[in-house]
Amino acid sequence: MADSDSKAEFLKEFLIPNYILKPEPKGQICHKPKCPVIIFINSRSGGQLGGDLFKTYRSVLNKNQVLDLGEEAPDEALRRVYVNLQRLKSEGDEFAKHIEEKLRLIVAGGDGTAGWLLGVVSDLKLSHPPPIATVPLGTGNNLPFAFGWGKRNPGTDSNAVEAFLDQVLKAKEMKIDSWHIMMRMRAPKEGPCDPIPPLELPHSLHAFQRVSETDELNLEGYHTFRGGFWNYFSMGMDAQVSYAFHSERKLHPEKFKNQLVNQSTYAKIVGEQGWFCASLFHPSSRNIAQLAKVSIMKRHGTWQELSIPQSCHPIVLTLTRHSHCSIRSIVCLNLPSFSGGLNPWGTPNSRKLRDRDLTPPYVDDGLLEVVGFRDAWHGLVLLAPNGHGTRLAQAHRIRFEFHKGATDHTFMRIDGEPWKQPLPVNDETVVVEISHLGQVNMLATHDCRSKSVYDPSTPSSHGVEEDDGGNGDDLVEEGEEFRKFGAADTFKIPDGVDITHLS
């Protein structure tokens, strides 16, 4: 009995009464919760886990503070709650003011689901934006892993839910950078130019949306898309493998019932796509340097062209042909978690910090880490202690310019969502430009792997360095920001799109 009473007292710290969540008469309020939460769950994520988790949260909390993303979009739900909060505060309701100040959000799903909620909160421009905790229910789970929430699917019983709520109560707030991405191309005389998502769905889920005619980025005679991300943008072989995986999962959903099966299937596709033998099976036209001109801007300054390596170190050149070592995948990384928790940037040692003006990968310094990979064997260095990819640059802005060339398409990926991108068939140019947008609030546990440039208590923020140990290569590299990209609309999944496969 005592144990039951203590659980009830504990859960009171998270409860939100109905009159806060929707307009209705106010009941008697006896307790101000320390950590009121609203929970968004993709009930179709993680096989049966999403649905089970939804039922458990609803059984231990007020069911109206636990929302199924398959039933109601987060922008609609949060607008309803915050409109109600503003009305109550204007009437002098101190409890409503307390809820707004203490509110935290929990999102359970894959990285795509989490990014959807992050975009909505960013777009709503709230005076007190609530910080967000992420429950890992996807395949990669890079966002939860980067902030200490783990990368394995959680338990769904009441004890597991209460343990997670306890972590949310104790978690600290941490800001992370958000990034705007714009893609523009002249309307082609022939052939498509729109981003093509897996199996040619009408839109690339929430990766891009075409801008309206009234959007300031719209130019007559051009097609322009805009979007945003928090974890990474990648292009090349890794995105091609991801595209193949998503397409297979959409065709045969019965084969993708749990995280272990998903990951083993992904590894199989890596082999089938020739990513381990890219130099043998893929033409040089797939090399990043031949696909695009890449330019970067450090902080606020002028654009400079980024030299993408097309050769190996001398010792490797004696064993293989020159073109074998070209970069075939490039990753623009915001968080120290990629491909299920790997850190492609690592932590540069003191010599590289000094000689190349590099820094550790802080998540709130307004810089992206730009890393290149030659093939899957190169990517395996990330499994070694202190392993990293080819560090190309750190940039405040980065631009890719694709001209007519030897290939008619490439593959791109944002926070786990891949698409097949047509490239110019005539003498036109496709431009993709990424720029720093702002910041959003996350919740981090004591196991958080992300580092803040402003918070000395985060791991390694005092300049603790790692010995690179020769794992990976380094390259000596040679405004006005966009306005909000309309995240609540940009990140809204179109009607009729099955969100089962957000990852």
Query: What pLDDT is stored for residue 314 in this prediction?
Result: 39
How many domains, in total, are found in the chain?
2
Residues 199 and 132 in one domain: no
Residue 43 Cα to chain centre, angstroms? 20
CB 294 within 8 A of CB 305: yes
Q: Could you give the maximum distance between any two Cα atoms of the chain, in Å? A: 79
Residues 218 and 290 in one domain: yes
DSSP codes, 437-499: EEEEEEEE-TT---B-SS-TTSTTTT------TT-S-B------------HHHHTSPPTT--G
Structure tokens at 237: 């072989």
CB 365 within 8 A of CB 359: yes
Within a domain: 461: no
First to last CA, the chain: 41
Question: What is the number of other CB atoms lying within 10 angstroms of the CB of residue 425?
Answer: 14
Within a domain: 478: no
Instruction: Name the CA radius of gyration of the chain, rounded.
Output: 23
Residues 149 and 200 in one domain: no
Residues 3 and 81 in one domain: yes
- Which of 131, 148, 177 delimits the end of a domain? 177
CATH number at residue 338: 2.60.200.40
CATH number at residue 49: 3.40.50
Q: b or e along 28-66 (b: 16 or more beta carbons within 10 Å of the residue's beta carbon)?
A: eeeeebebbbbbbbbbbbbbebbbbbbebbbebbbeebb
Q: Residue 378 sits in which domain range?
A: 179-312+324-449
Query: What pLDDT is stored for residue 478 in this prediction?
Result: 34
Within a domain: 466: no
Residues 35 and 90 in one domain: yes
Residues 269 and 172 in one domain: no
Helix (H/G/I), strand (E/B), else coil: 110: coil
Cβ burial of 464 (10 Å; 0-12, 13-18, 19+) is: exposed
What does residue 438 show for φ and ψ, rounded to 5 degrees? 180, -150
- Which of 404, 429, 449 delimits the end of a domain? 449
Euclidean distance between CA atoms 359 and 181, whole angstroms: 23
Structure tokens at 432: 């993709």
Please compute, for residue 437, the number of CA atoms within 13 A of its CA located in the half-sphere on the CB side. 24
Q: Which residues contact 181 (CB under 8 A, 6 or more apart)?
A: 208, 226, 227, 228, 229, 233, 414, 432, 433, 434
Residues 254 and 347 in one domain: yes
Euclidean distance between CA atoms 200 and 228, whole angstroms: 21
Residues 161 and 190 in one domain: no
Residues 146 and 244 in one domain: no
Residues 40 and 144 in one domain: yes
What does residue 255 show for φ and ψ, rounded to 5 degrees? -85, -5
- Which of 177, 211, 246 delimits the end of a domain? 177
Residues 170 and 260 in one domain: no
SS3 content of the chain, % helix, strand, coil (to 5): 30, 25, 45
CB 480 within 8 A of CB 180: no
CB 304 within 8 A of CB 145: no
Print pLDDT tens along the chain (503 aa). Answer: 457 788 999 999 999 999 999 888 887 777 899 999 999 998 877 667 889 999 999 999 999 999 999 898 898 999 999 999 999 999 999 999 999 999 999 999 888 788 888 888 988 888 889 999 999 887 678 889 899 998 887 789 999 999 999 999 999 999 999 998 888 887 666 666 666 655 443 333 344 677 777 778 888 878 888 888 888 898 888 788 777 776 776 766 656 555 555 555 555 554 455 444 444 445 445 577 677 889 999 877 789 998 876 654 433 433 333 334 578 888 999 988 776 667 778 777 777 766 777 887 899 999 999 988 875 444 444 444 465 678 888 999 999 998 777 677 888 888 877 888 888 777 678 899 999 988 999 999 998 989 898 875 665 444 444 544 444 555 433 333 333 333 444 433 333 333 334 44
